[in-house]
């Protein structure tokens, strides 16, 4: 055997579906679909592109971005080591490959995720690259096709990875406004922040045969519910039955089907003149550098991080902490609660309605927890169901029509990790709220009052100004969840809490939060009246300037605010250690 001859094990591959031993070349000729059982093996992004686009039409878009490690994240390994290992093993710069190409002769921009690269996780670079791909589609006046494969957000980039859900969603919103088709193709697996944003808020959602998609993963749902999952849970065929996808497509038909969709939806309107690109606002600084906000503005107040992050997590979850209904009583007047999603449900974990703040009417929407076990159970611990997100969506749109500003109060461990929530389209419900907030033509002011947990929190927190109570937390994943994945076990939650940079002062420095609302020295639950007084003052000082901004300008500024998170890497080197 010469040194260039492939080794025996490289010639054969065992099918994950039926365990048949398959000749690798034959498997590849069959598009990596098992000829025995039809199992669709996972594809890397380069092979996926090769299969999908017209030969000779592929033009890769630039994928080189400066290095980033915005949190200096270290679990059992420093994050840069994990990145280097992923690059070495895949030969890719990041977990997505973007390109222009034609499919069946129709031009499109494609962004193809690669699960082999850190589980296809959505970090700042992935968000930036997909956003640039969407902007390229807008400039060229062609459809955008997103092939998703992801375990969710990239924990090592903390809440900045959560922000990518908004950054990419608003780029999709811009394509909607321009009348350009967006298509996502779910491949196995598509979970978490990707599922709850650009995988499901596109015009069309296709699922490759055998793909699974959901917001919460099956392991988490089994742990929380303590029950076995229904047959085929979160699989393409079941998603189709529950109305979550437009069609399920075999890999061998995918290229023809996409070509037919592009042909059928081809815009008949004249090509659009290129719009001036929205330049990202100046990026946030890395932790430890000077605050990004100019001196003299409220956000410039630099709160000393006096408390350990884990202690703050415990304060944020304190059962005595004021809830949304408490604030509606103490900060606002004349609350008129409005119920229902008009689709068959009224989620008790989300409350909303019209209220007065000083002499102005506002739409208030917030997560509702409770102080006693009975209250918490009745409110599902503040974990919204799809009906809750859809109620919030209805009230946001109503507010915009009536010219009312929206104030959101965020206090949730996360969205409901249950079987029925998934079946009712949890991911798409969150995704639609995030996208809608990026286009809502009325002021939006969000306050993280307790726990800002993941996509469930972001679904109420894409805002013109984001405030945070001093002892609230805001994170892409719970410290316990992060510890269970990146550390040997959940007992590392306190270390994970520190590494995630989830406290108000940290998030203010990262530019995710504009202003910290100080709590009384003993914390909110010890002096709710004083907390309410401070919150009211902060709401008024932040809301009043927004009322004078024309709606189109508000939306433009809001998008700039979230666009900069995609660009978070650019220039990150400047602050290298």
Footprint on this chain of Zn ion (rule: CB under 5 A): 15, 17-18, 20, 34, 36-37, 39
> Residues 169, 435: contact at Cβ < 8 Å?
yes
In terms of CB distance, is 37 or 85 closer to Zn ion? 37
Residues 6+ apart with CB under 8 A from 415: 196, 215, 216, 383, 384, 385, 389, 421, 426, 430, 453, 454, 455, 456, 459
Q: Which is nearer to Zn ion, 12 or 402 (CB)?
A: 12
For the bound state, the minimum distance from the C-beta of residue 43 to Zn ion, rounded and expressed in Å, comes to 16
Checking phi first, is residue 424 left (phi over 0); if not, alpha (psi -120 to 50) or beta? alpha
Phi, psi of 354 (to 5 degrees): -90, 140
Of 39 and 411, which has the nearer Cβ to Zn ion? 39
Cβ closest to Zn ion, residue 27 vs residue 476: 27
Q: Which two tokens stand for residue 401?
A: 């029509």
| Of residues 38 and 80, the one with the C-beta less far from Zn ion | 38
130 vs 236 by CB, closer to Zn ion: 236
Q: Find the angle CA(118)-CA(123)-CA(126) to the nearest 5 degrees.
A: 90
Give the nearest distance from C-beta 20 to Zn ion in angstroms.
5
Residue number with CB closer to Zn ion (26 or 360): 26
361 contact partners, CB below 8 Å, separation of at least 6: 354, 355, 404
- Cβ closest to Zn ion, residue 20 vs residue 57: 20
* Smallest distance from Zn ion to CB 21, Å: 10
**DSSP H helices in 308-370:** 309-316, 324-330
CB of 35 to Zn ion, least distance (A): 8
The residues, any chain, with a CB within 8 Å of residue 565's CB and separated by 6 or more, are 124, 127, 160, 163, 164, 166, 167, 284, 511, 512
Select from 363, 365, 345 the least CA-distant residue to 354.
363
Looking at the Cβ atoms of 14 and 266, the one nearer to Zn ion is: 14
**Least CB distance from residue 12 to Zn ion, whole Å?**
13
How far apart CA 23 and CA 40 sit, in angstroms, is: 15
Place of tokens 């990419």: 168
Q: 43: which 2 tokens?
A: 């594809």
3-state DSSP call for residue 287? coil
Q: Smallest distance from the beta carbon of 409 to Zn ion, in angstroms?
A: 51
Task: Count the helix, strand and coil residues of the chain and give each as a percent rounded to the nearest 5.
Answer: 40, 20, 40
Residues 6+ apart with CB under 8 A from 157: 68, 70, 71, 73, 79, 123, 124, 476
We find the least distance from the C-beta atom of residue 338 to Zn ion, in angstroms, to be 52
User: Helix and strand tally (H, E) in the chain?
Assistant: 22, 18
Please, what is the minimum distance in Å from the beta carbon of residue 265 to Zn ion? 35
Tell me whether the omega of the peptide bond preceding residue 269 falls within 30 degrees of 0, making it cis: no
Q: Which is nearer to Zn ion, 37 or 547 (CB)?
A: 37
Residue 27: CB minimum distance to Zn ion, A: 10
The least CB distance from residue 149 to Zn ion, in Å, is 20
Tell me the C-alpha distance between 9 and 6, whole Å.
8
Closest approach of Zn ion to the CB of residue 26, in Å: 12
Closer to Zn ion by Cβ: residue 30 or 560: 30
* Residue with smaller CB distance to Zn ion, 17 or 282: 17
- Minimal distance, residue 37 CB to Zn ion, in Å: 3
CB contact set of 49 (below 8 Å; sequence gap of 6+): 58, 97, 99, 101, 110, 112
């Amino acid at each position: 055997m010469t040194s260039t001859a492939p080794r025996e094990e490289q010639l054969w591959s065992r099918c994950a579906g039926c365990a048949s031993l398959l000749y690798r070349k034959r498997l590849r000729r069959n598009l990596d679909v098992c000829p025995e059982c039809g199992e669709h093996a996972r594809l890397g992004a380069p092979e996926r592109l090769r299969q999908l686009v017209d030969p000779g039409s592929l033009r890769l878009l630039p994928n080189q971005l400066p290095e980033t490690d915005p949190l200096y994240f270290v679990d059992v390994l420093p994050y840069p080591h994990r990145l280097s290992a992923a690059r070495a093993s895949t030969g890719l710069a990041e977990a997505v490959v973007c390109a222009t190409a034609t499919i069946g002769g129709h031009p499109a921009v494609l962004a193809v995720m690669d699960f082999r690269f850190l589980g296809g996780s959505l970090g700042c670079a992935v968000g930036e690259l997909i956003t640039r791909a969407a902007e390229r589609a807008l400039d060229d006046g062609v459809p955008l096709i997103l092939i998703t494969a992801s375990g969710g957000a990239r924990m090592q980039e903390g809440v900045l990875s959560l922000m990518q859900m908004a950054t990419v969603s608003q780029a999709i919103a811009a394509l909607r406004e321009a009348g350009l088709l967006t298509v996502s193709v779910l491949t196995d697996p598509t979970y978490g922040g990707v599922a709850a944003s650009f995988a499901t808020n596109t015009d069309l959602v296709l699922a490759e045969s055998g793909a699974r998609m959901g917001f919460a993963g099956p392991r988490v749902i089994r742990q929380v519910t303590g029950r076995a999952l229904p047959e085929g849970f979160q699989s393409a065929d079941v998603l189709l039955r529950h109305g979550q996808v437009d069609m399920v497509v075999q890999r061998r038909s995918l290229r023809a089907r996409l070509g037919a969709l592009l042909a059928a939806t081809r815009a008949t309107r004249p090509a659009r003149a290129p719009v001036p690109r929205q330049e990202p606002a100046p990026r946030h600084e890395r932790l430890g550098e000077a605050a990004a906000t100019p001196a003299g503005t409220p956000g410039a107040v630099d709160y000393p991080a006096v408390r350990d992050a884990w202690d703050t997590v415990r304060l944020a979850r304190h059962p005595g902490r004021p809830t949304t209904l408490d604030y509606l009583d103490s900060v606002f007047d004349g609350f008129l609660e409005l119920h229902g999603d008009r689709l068959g449900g009224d989620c008790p974990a989300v409350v909303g309605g019209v209220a007065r703040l000083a002499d102005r009417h506002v739409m208030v929407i917030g997560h509702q927890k409770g102080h006693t076990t009975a209250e918490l159970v009745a409110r599902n611990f503040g974990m919204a169901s799809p009906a809750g997100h859809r109620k919030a969506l209805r009230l946001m749109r109503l507010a915009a029509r009536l010219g009312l500003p929206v104030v959101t109060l965020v206090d949730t461990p996360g969205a409901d990790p249950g079987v029925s929530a998934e079946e009712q389209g949890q991911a798409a419900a969150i995704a639609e709220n995030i996208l809608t907030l990026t286009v809502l033509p009325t002021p939006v002011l969000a306050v993280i009052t307790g726990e800002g947990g993941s996509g469930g929190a972001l679904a109420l927190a894409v805002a013109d100004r984001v405030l945070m109570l001093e002892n609230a937390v805001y994170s892409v994943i719970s410290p316990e969840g992060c510890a269970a994945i990146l550390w040997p076990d959940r007992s590392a939650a306190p270390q994970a809490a520190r590494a995630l940079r989830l406290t108000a002062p940290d998030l203010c420095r990262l530019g995710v939060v504009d202003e910290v609302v100080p709590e009384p020295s003993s914390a909110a639950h010890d002096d709710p009246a004083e907390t309410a007084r401070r919150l009211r003052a902060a709401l008024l000082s932040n809301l009043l300037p927004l009322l004078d901004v024309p709606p189109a300008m508000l939306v433009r500024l809001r998008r700039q605010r979230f666009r900069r998170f995609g660009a978070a890497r650019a220039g990150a080197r400047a602050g290298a250690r």
